[in-house]
Structure 1
Amino acid sequence: MSFKSLTLSAALSTVATLALAGAASAHMIIEDAYARASNKMAGAAFMEIINHSDVDDRLVGVRSDVAKRVQLHTHSEDENGVMKMMHVEEGFAISAGETHQLKRGGDHVMFMGLTRELKDGDTVNVTLVFESAGEVTVEIPVDMARQPKTGHGSHEGHADHDGHSDHGDGESN
């Protein structure tokens, strides 16, 4: 095989790989997304993630330049009935054909150490990382007035998220 043929073969292989990654990402549909700040140091994003594929998947990571640290979080009740927020390192399973809700008082994207103020009407770029579907980048509107449709409430009644509370991961900002 000549150098020219080898280069063309490698280029076609790269294009095919990129096409497959893009096609897989098209199966994860993000709807009804919004973000808000709980204070000047922390905020969160909420959305519906719909798995339109026939393969189970898992949201395993998240990135955004809006905060120093961005994690997948959930709430759980401790033995004293106090709701605590914790980092979910293993991510969130999203079964084939199912919808997973990221909502206030439940699973959500947590922004810690905001790099800028989140103002009503702004947008936040967030990259969701899935095991199978790869990366899906979404532009999420900031909506400070939005009230939850379900769940038990907002972040305002919980511990602050500037590194002074227990996130279950032993880390601080």
Structure 2
Amino acid sequence: MFKRAFYSLLALGLAAPALAKVEAVDGYVRLLPPGTPNTAAFMVLKNDGDAPVRLTGVSSPEVARAELHTHLHENGVMRMRQVESIEIPAKGEAVLKPGSLHIMLFDVRELSQGTPFPLTLSLDNGQALSLSLPVKPVEPMAGMAH
């Protein structure tokens, strides 16, 4: 009896698709000049699962509102647009970076270099990622001299 139950559970475990586990790496929040209320967070989201997963929400106790955004080029002008979700492909990654997909943080309460910034990501598979991101100053674009 025990043997049959064990092999049944083993077969079910082998037949079930692997639950996706998403990991955030190389994340940071961009430090902006004092008095600037909005900023952005960037990172790489890696999905080791066999099915795609969607980032569907983000929150932080340090902001009034957080949204998922992308940049679009319209008539030679780059514009930001809110998106409902960001897909993280199976066995792949989604890169959130300046000028592309990113997390917009509105009405930031406190932001200083050296103080970790709390951020929680919500995924459509029920997973929540609680992050503590470093705050980094804006780096000049390549080729720009100051």
Shorter-chain TM-score bucket reads 0.7 to 0.9
- The aligned length equals 123
Does residue 69 of structure 2 align to residue 76 of structure 1?
A: no
Does residue 137 of structure 2 align to residue 141 of structure 1?
A: no
Contact 1:73 1:85 in 2 (8 A): yes
Does residue 84 of structure 2 align to residue 93 of structure 1?
A: no
1:118-157 equivalences in 2 (<5 Å): 118-146=111-139
Q: TM-score, normalised by structure 1?
A: 0.65
Q: Which amino acid aligns with 2:67?
A: Q
Structure (1 or 2) with the greater helix fraction: 1
Q: CA deviation at 1:133?
A: 4.6
Contact 1:24 1:133 in 2 (8 A): no
Contact 1:24 1:134 in 2 (8 A): no
CA distance in 1, matches of 2:141, 2:105: 18
Unaligned runs of 5+ in 2: 1-17
Once the two structures are superposed, residues 10-69 of structure 1 have per-residue CA deviations (whole angstroms, 9 ceiling, x without a partner) of: xxxxxxxxxxxxx957x1111101111345201111000000111211001101112101
Q: Which amino acid aligns with 1:101?
A: V
Residue equivalent to 2:28: 34
Q: CA deviation at 1:78?
A: 1.0
Contact 2:32 2:137 in 1 (8 A): no
Contact 2:72 2:79 in 1 (8 A): yes
SS of the equivalent of 2:57 reads strand
Shift in alpha-carbon separation, 1:148–1:124, aligned structure 2, 3 A: farther
Q: CA deviation at 1:148?
A: 7.2
Contact 2:31 2:113 in 1 (8 A): no
CA distance in 2, matches of 1:133, 1:95: 16
Structure (1 or 2) with the greater strand fraction: 2
CA RMSD of aligned residues (A): 2.1
Q: Percent identity?
A: 32
Shift in alpha-carbon separation, 1:147–1:103, aligned structure 2, 3 A: farther
Q: Which structure 1 residue ranges, 4+ long, deviate > 6 Å from structure 2?
A: none
Q: Which amino acid aligns with 2:80?
A: M
Q: TM-score, normalised by structure 2?
A: 0.77
Which residue of 32, 51, 54 maps to 1:58? Answer: 54
Which residue of 40, 47, 59 maps to 2:43? Answer: 47
